[in-house]
A and B are shown apart, each in its own frame.
Chain A
Amino acid sequence: MNYFRYVIINIIGTLLRGFPLPCKTGLRIIGNPNRNSPVFLTCNFTVTVERVKKALQGMDAYLLVANSKGDNVWCSATGGHFTNHSVISVIKTSGIEELVDHRNVVLPQLAATGIQERIIRKKTGWKAIWGPVYAKDIPEFVENHFDKTPEMRQVEFPLTQRLEMAIMWAFPFSIIASLLVLPFKPTLFFPLNIIIWGWSLFLFIAFPLYSKWYGRNKKTSGFSKCTVIFDLGFVPVVTWIIFMIILVAGSIAFHQFHIDFIIGWGITSLAVLLLISIDLMGSTPIYKSGLHEDRYLKVILNSDKCKGAASCEAVCPKNCFDVKQGRSASIPRLDECVQCGACIVQCPFDALYFESPKGEILTPESIREYKLNLIGKRLVKVNKQ
């Protein structure tokens, strides 16, 4: 384990988190594996690969890095860059089949939006086991005989991840802003960067405080097209109004009130705010992006088709499902759903589908075949009911 490399990649990866950072695909050897050692698989986002390698430290295992065009597992699987083909290809071409006697591969759970366990088995004979959401849970998962606790299946948005997301937005914009102002008005450099970094950090660090108002009651999805501009509704706007009040009050208090100063910073700060909050919801793992049409969809369960396979329960990152052994599933926590579609993709009986508010149906086949592009458009027509 090369700690220097780990730290450098994490720093670069965090600063440029919004961009793909691909690494070489293929086989990685962890420790001294033998013919019975477990095989793990992940995407080729360099940061993810480093984190998985760190989680596997001390174990003897094989790690397959599959092509996801350098994006993280969840985005690439949902966006059609991390597919059945990526997994089949790395299994077939990496030489792993000659190295182990078993045919089990642990896939990251969040890849379930794009990779079908059944297709992998049919095309390669390998059995896909859904591993935990977070790489750090892998050792416990292995100790647990490859069984997941509900906690291991759940996506969270802890402080460290919120900081990563704040940096993801702030860094590129601070670079662009700095390049724009430095040649002309260097004095603007510090105030502008303070606004960009301060606001990004504030919006993400304070996220649990204000998300409570919107969150669970599901009003967010009724928030209309405006959410594209003011994602998460009016919270960013409220922070802007507070900022303006402080700006005006401060300038009056210090006898520096100039109307062009106020207007100038008013417009600048609003522009900054719009840029950093353009996809606030989509930057969290617990809301569907405000840019994605899928946020209006609802998962529907056809109980007649359900035979209690519980594949939905195994892949749902919000633990929405309850499946009593051998009986039909239920969705008691449907209001937690982030419309990722993993349950629909995996269901062996096609018992789940999406329904739009207009009553249009997105069939399991179309969800499996047509992925979301970066602006959340699924390139497929829906069937009218």
Chain B
Amino acid sequence: MSTYVFMKILESAPDRYDKGIDILSFGKLSQAYDRLISHIQKGQKVLDIGCGTGALTIKAARRDAKVTGIDINPQMLDIAKKHAEAFHLSDRIRFIEAGVAEMESMEAKSFDVVMSGLCFSELSEDEQAYALKQIKRILKDGGMLLLADETIAGNFFLRAINLPVKIVIKIITYVLTQTGTHAIRHLPEKVKKAGFKIESLRFNKMQDFIEVTAIKYKEAGS
């Protein structure tokens, strides 16, 4: 209710989401996404979970991949569609309004790559486990899982240094994008537990941002 004042100025959040996020990450997010999509090959089928306004989706499509973006926010998807049109990539991208719990209807072993940026941290533990199970099902053997997300530093001192910055950023993030950010814990462990093999892990200097690339190996007997 007290956020009315801010809302009045900002009015519609999705429009400002991209700029907000980019400013808040000091442009680092875009670099992280570039590193992630460097694993994508021409012509591959890619799924972007929680595509939002399509930042990662469009980057992937520009590498000549066929990308499906799913998100639960129809306003974000509208903006994503506009962005895709602006880059003349509409024929290579399909956006669907769906959450991770709605992946059941997707065909098994139908994607070469599944990627997700800043989405897992918004899911509950139940949803994360469910999503990983579904991702494993829909990925082809040898398919890749690419994740980039906020995390919590393992090092106590780094956590202590991060804290004041985090609080300020949290408030600004809420005002700009009207979504909270919750850092995800133990992401590599969760990915491993779901039966993926971790290919590479990358933390930023403050250890509060993680990039994971993992591979689904062919299951024995299948």
Chain A residues within CB distance 8 Å of chain B:
18-19, 24-26, 67, 69, 80, 83, 85, 88-95, 123, 168-169, 172, 278-279, 291, 369-370, 373-375, 377, 379
Taking CB atoms, residues of chain A closer than 8 Å to B102 are 85, 88, 92, 123
Partner of A375, one of B2, B4, B73, B124: B4
Residue of B nearest to A282 (CB): B1
B61 at the interface (CB under 8 A from A): no
Q: Are B12 and A25 in contact (CB under 8 A)?
A: no
Known: A25-B124, A69-B180. A92 touches B1 (CB 8 A): no
Q: A93 CA to B98 CA in the complex, in Å?
A: 14
Taking CB atoms, residues of chain B closer than 8 Å to A24 are 124
Taking CB atoms, residues of chain A closer than 8 Å to B129 are 93
Which 4 pairs across A and B sit closest by C-beta, in order of nearness?
A18-B1, A92-B101, A89-B101, A85-B72
Residue of A nearest to B98 (CB): A85
Residue of B nearest to A374 (CB): B7
Taking CB atoms, residues of chain A closer than 8 Å to B98 are 85
Q: Are A93 and B2 in contact (CB under 8 A)?
A: no
Main secondary structure of the interface of B (DSSP, over half): helix
CB-defined interface of B87-101 with A at 8 Å, one 1/0 digit per residue? 000000000001111
Taking CB atoms, residues of chain A closer than 8 Å to B72 are 83, 85
Q: A182 CA to B222 CA in the complex, in Å?
A: 72
A17 vs chain B, min Cβ distance (A): 8
Q: Are B75 and A374 in contact (CB under 8 A)?
A: no
Q: Are A373 and B11 in contact (CB under 8 A)?
A: yes
A2 vs chain B, min Cβ distance (A): 22
**What are some 28 contacts across the A-B interface (CB < 8 A)?**
A24-B124, A25-B126, A26-B124, A26-B126, A67-B124, A69-B180, A85-B99, A85-B101, A88-B99, A88-B101, A89-B99, A89-B100, A89-B101, A89-B127, A91-B101, A92-B101, A93-B100, A93-B101, A93-B126, A123-B102, A168-B1, A369-B74, A370-B75, A373-B13, A375-B7, A375-B11, A377-B12, A379-B12
Q: A91 CA to B130 CA in the complex, in Å?
A: 12
CB-defined interface of B1-22 with A at 8 Å, one 1/0 digit per residue? 1111001100111100000000
B85 at the interface (CB under 8 A from A): no
Known: A88-B99, A172-B2. A93 touches B74 (CB 8 A): no
Q: Are B11 and A377 in contact (CB under 8 A)?
A: yes
Taking CB atoms, residues of chain B closer than 8 Å to A94 are 126
B104 at the interface (CB under 8 A from A): yes
Main secondary structure of the interface of A (DSSP, over half): loop
Partner of A18, one of B2, B14, B126, B127: B2
Q: Which interface residue of A69, A93, A169, A377 has the most chain B CB atoms within 10 A?
A: A93
Chain B residues within CB distance 8 Å of chain A:
1-4, 7-8, 11-14, 72-75, 98-102, 104, 124-127, 129-130, 178-180
B170 vs chain A, min Cβ distance (A): 13
Q: Are A279 and B99 in contact (CB under 8 A)?
A: no
A97 vs chain B, min Cβ distance (A): 11
Residue of B nearest to A95 (CB): B126
Q: A93 CA to B130 CA in the complex, in Å?
A: 6
Q: A85 CA to B74 CA in the complex, in Å?
A: 11
Taking CB atoms, residues of chain B closer than 8 Å to A83 are 72
Residue of B nearest to A89 (CB): B101
Taking CB atoms, residues of chain B closer than 8 Å to A369 are 74
A124 vs chain B, min Cβ distance (A): 9
Q: A94 CA to B101 CA in the complex, in Å?
A: 10
Q: A88 CA to B97 CA in the complex, in Å?
A: 13
Q: A346 CA to B102 CA in the complex, in Å?
A: 21
Taking CB atoms, residues of chain B closer than 8 Å to A89 are 99-101, 127
Q: Are B4 and A374 in contact (CB under 8 A)?
A: yes
Q: Are A375 and B8 in contact (CB under 8 A)?
A: yes
B70 vs chain A, min Cβ distance (A): 10
Q: A35 CA to B127 CA in the complex, in Å?
A: 23
Q: A374 CA to B2 CA in the complex, in Å?
A: 10
Q: Which interface residue of B2, B13, B98 has the most chain A CB atoms within 10 A?
A: B2
Beyond A19-B2, A80-B73, A89-B127, 16 additional pairs, beta carbon < 8 A: A18-B2, A25-B124, A25-B126, A67-B124, A83-B72, A85-B72, A85-B102, A88-B102, A89-B100, A92-B104, A169-B1, A172-B2, A369-B74, A373-B13, A375-B4, A375-B7
Residue of B nearest to A66 (CB): B124
Taking CB atoms, residues of chain B closer than 8 Å to A373 are 7, 11-13, 178
Q: Which interface residue of A94, A172, A291, A374 has the most chain B CB atoms within 10 A?
A: A374
Taking CB atoms, residues of chain A closer than 8 Å to B100 are 89, 93
Taking CB atoms, residues of chain A closer than 8 Å to B126 are 25-26, 90, 93-95
Q: A91 CA to B99 CA in the complex, in Å?
A: 12
